[in-house]
Structure 1
Amino acid sequence: MKIWDVVIVGGGPIGIACGLEAKKKGLSYIILEKGCIVNSLYNYPLNMQFFSSSEKLEIDEIPFISIEAKPKRNEALEYYRRIVTSNQLNISLFEKVNSINKIDGYFNIVSEKSTYKSTNVIISTGFYDIPNKMNVPGEDLKKVTHYYKDPHFYSNQQVAVIGASNSAIDAALECYRKGAEVSLIIRGPEVGQRVKYWVRPDIINRIEEGSIKVYYNSVVKEITEDEIILNSPTGTISLKNDYVLALTGYMPNFSFLEKIGIQLSKDEKRLPQYNPETMETNIENLYLAGVICGGMETHKWFIENSRIHAKMIMENIVQNIKSITNQPVNLG
């Protein structure tokens, strides 16, 4: 079996950045992605606009040109796809990794399609795959979704949007503008302070004029086929309802990290253990990159400030190789 210098798990922007850096260092590498190229971005809402400007989403100093200062989903998909194809990155798509074990100094990576052997592994799997569940009766009904794609589907429907952050606020505004009757359910006293600064005044104005009904300091008690039932400061409220968009956030696959052997903090943050100077975890030669480093604090790491992880990791890997072989290593 071929022994790879590095196997990269996750083909999002940061996984791609790691692949670019590995290629520049002359390392043998492969990126394993369970879906399409930048799968998480592909599953974002169709009209999603980034908070960051295009130059802050660039990787490897490859220019990202967008129509507006802040690019939209389709522009990001094109940008990252072209990087993969133009640089002929070694990426295997629709190949989910099931297990990673370290035996006799080497990692055995078992996917749905094959088995790989590597001296180093990078986990760059993000956090978009597992939604934060409300754990209420009726959450498994077909009318409930934790992902939002296109507002057209909800035209002329009674839609409850749950959440106070960017994804929920964007969905509420878009559905309202496509003719939905929108109820916004927020467990706190206000719209989230981290909502995009050009969007927050819009939702507040729509709430104040009565176009979107908001229920502050409220939580979902139950969901039925034709209603959503809330616990509110004024008591129990039942709303007629066709669809529920439970946009309550997402989390990393903690069970996968624990199965590998990565140590997590015992508090609610579930922070994975790693060296911030090298991104190496408590398992030697196993690294984390990107937003997965933040545990439950998914707002701490994003493309803009985690793209540096690729260089940090690859420089550490080549230095390790140099120390073992006592041979000069190209540092790019």
Structure 2
Amino acid sequence: MQDFDVVIIGGGPIGIACGLEAKKQGLTYVIIEKGPIVNSLFNYPINMQFFSSSEKLEIDDIPFISKEAKPKRNEALEYYRRIVTSNQLNIHLFEKVLNVEQKATSFNIKTDKDTYKAKNVIVATGFYDLPNKINVPGEDLPKVSHYYKDPHFYASQKLVVVGASNSAIDAALECWRKGAEVNLIIRGPEVGQRVKYWVRPDIVNRIEEGSIKAYYNSTVKEITESEVVINTLQGEVTLTNDFVLALTGYMPNFDFLEKLGIQLSEDGKRLPTYDPETMETNIPGLFLAGVICGGMETHKWFIENSRIHAPIIMKAIKQKMALEDKTS
């Protein structure tokens, strides 16, 4: 069994930032990632452009140079990949954590490939793994996807996009431009206010000119092999359909957090318990970093404002270790 000061679960930008900081502080560490480097970013749409500018996505003051002020997915992948390789970070890829068990003053971390022992564990797993289901008949049909990758796939097809936030709006516009017939199903009265400011006028104009048909104040009732039935304020509407993109957001793996013993709020936000001064949870030695700190409020934490978690956590770990050395 390999023994570390810190095991970091999640190899996204914040997990990488934690690894860099652990190395800087002279701590033994390993990052465990179930997929490739920055797995969530890898699974973003091919043409995705960030809301944040490149300097706000930087970690550890390592410059991020992009062609435009707001970088695209491929540039981010290159940036974070080079950080991992040039700094020779200890990262184990395509390895899934199955269980974390507390043993006295340490943890045993079991994966599908190995077992580790650590004095401290950081959970930096993000929220992109579990889609928010719309829970209607037909949602499990092969024509339905909760993830969007490439607009070419939907060319010349009748596409229903469900959602009003960035992912749904980007998909609707890109697929329409590649020749898809797009119907947009929006639960509220308008396109989401958090949609990127340079994209929102585009989708509003496409809707107003009739290029993309939007159904406001509407929800999906049923999905069949060839149709989508929606509820609108004017009554039930049936749309002939080839594919459905249900892009209604994602959520953290709360079952995993609860399995670890982390307390979650019961107000629907499911906010995990942690000390903002140290990022330590109600379980001593178990820390949270990144977007997962926001529970269901997935817009609360992102790369540019949660990269500070890495130095906060490592400072807390170093202080705790120094105190243990004094009392031992």
TM-score, normalised on structure 2?
0.99
Partner of 2:258: 258
The alignment status of 1:46 with 2:46, answered yes or no, reads yes
The residue matched to 2:108 in structure 1 has which SS? strand
- Secondary structure, in 3 states, of the residue corresponding to 2:148? coil
Deviation at 1:254, TM superposition (A): 0.2
Partners of 2:100 and 2:110 within 8 A in 1: yes
Specify every segment of 5 or more residues in structure 2 that has no aligned partner in the other structure, as ranges: none
Q: Partner amino acid for 1:200?
A: R
Distance 1:320 1:262 in 2: 20
Cα distance in 2 for partners of 1:227, 1:277 equals: 52
CA distance in 2 between counterparts of 1:178 and 1:268 reads 39
State how far apart, in whole Å, the 1-side matches of 2:178 and 2:273 are.
45
Residue type of the partner of 1:189? P
Number of the residue aligned with 2:268: 268
* Counterpart-to-counterpart distance in 2, 1:304 and 1:205: 30
Partner of 1:326: 326
SS in 2 for 1:323: helix
Structure 2 residue identity aligned to 1:101: E
Partner of 2:92: 92
Question: 1:125 corresponds to which residue?
Answer: 125
Distance across 2 between alignment mates of 1:324 and 1:271: 30
2:157 aligns with 157
| 1:185 aligns to 2:185 (yes or no) | yes
Q: Is residue 130–residue 252 contact of structure 2 (8 Å, CA) maintained in 1?
A: yes
Residue identity matched to 2:203: I
- How far off is 1:188 after superposition? 0.2
- Displacement after TM superposition at 1:180 (Å): 0.2
Q: Which letter maps to 1:65?
A: I
Distance (Å, rounded) in 2 between the aligned partners of 1:233 and 1:211: 22
SS of 2:113's equivalent?
A: coil
Give the partner amino acid of 1:173: L
What is the match of residue 195 of structure 2? 195
Partner Cα separation in structure 2 for residue 143 and residue 173 of structure 1: 19
Equivalence for 2:295: 295
Aligned partners of 2:280 and 2:287 also within 8 Å: yes
Equivalent position of 1:107 in the other structure: 107
> d(CA) in 1 for partners of 2:74 and 2:61?
20
Report the Cα offset of residue 110 of structure 1.
Answer: 0.4
Q: Give the residue type in structure 2 aligned to 1:105.
A: T
Cα deviation for residue 105 of structure 1 reads: 1.4
Alignment of 1:204-215 (within 5 A): 204-215=204-215
CA distance in 1, matches of 2:246, 2:104: 45
Residue 326 of structure 1 deviates from its aligned partner by 2.7
CA distance in 2, matches of 1:217, 1:267: 25
User: 2: distance between equivalents of 1:200 and 1:231?
Assistant: 25
- Tell me if 1:230 matches 2:230: yes
Q: Tell me the distance in 2 between the aligned counterparts of 1:90 and 1:281.
A: 24
Q: Structure 1, unaligned stretches of length 5 or more?
A: 328-332
The separation in 1 between residues aligned to 2:225 and 2:174, in whole angstroms, is 24
Q: Partner amino acid for 1:302?
A: F
Q: Runs of at least 4 residues of structure 1 off by over 6 A?
A: none
Q: Which amino acid aligns with 1:27?
A: L
Aligned to 1:330: none
1:145 matches 2:145 = yes
Q: Contact 2:32–2:93 (CA<8 Å) still a contact in 1?
A: yes
Displacement of 1:159 in angstroms is: 0.2
Alignment match, 2:173: 173
Matched residue, 1:312: 312
SS in structure 1 opposite 2:59? coil
* Percent identity of equivalent pairs: 76
How far apart, in 1, do the equivalents of 2:114 and 2:3 lie?
A: 14
Write the distance in 2 (CA, Å) between the matches of 1:324 and 1:286. 16
Give the superposition deviation at 1:267: 1.4
* Alignment root-mean-square deviation, CA: 0.7
Q: Once the two structures are superposed, what CA deviation does each residue of 1:274-306 show, in whole Å capped at 9, x if it has no partner?
A: 001110000001000000000000000000000
Shift of 1:2: 3.5
Give 1:3's aligned amino acid.
D
Structure 2 distance, partners of 1:258, 1:65, is 39
Once residues 104 and 169 of structure 2 are traced to their aligned partners in structure 1, the CA distance between those partners, rounded to angstroms, is 50
Contact 2:165–2:194 under 8 Å retained in 1: yes
2-structure distance, mates of 1:5, 1:125: 19
Rounded to whole Å, the distance in 1 between the matches of 2:104 and 2:278 is 23
CA contact (8 A) 2:160 2:183 kept: yes
- Are 1:286 and 2:286 an aligned pair? yes
Distance 1:40 1:12 in 2: 7
Report the count of equivalent residues: 327
* Structure 2 residue aligned with 1:34: 34
Residues 2 and 115, structure 2, Cα contact 8 Å, conserved in 1: no
* Paired residue type of 1:117: K
Q: Is the 8 A contact 2:95 2:111 kept in 1?
A: yes
Task: For residue 128 of structure 1, give the secondary structure of its aligned residue in structure 2.
Answer: coil
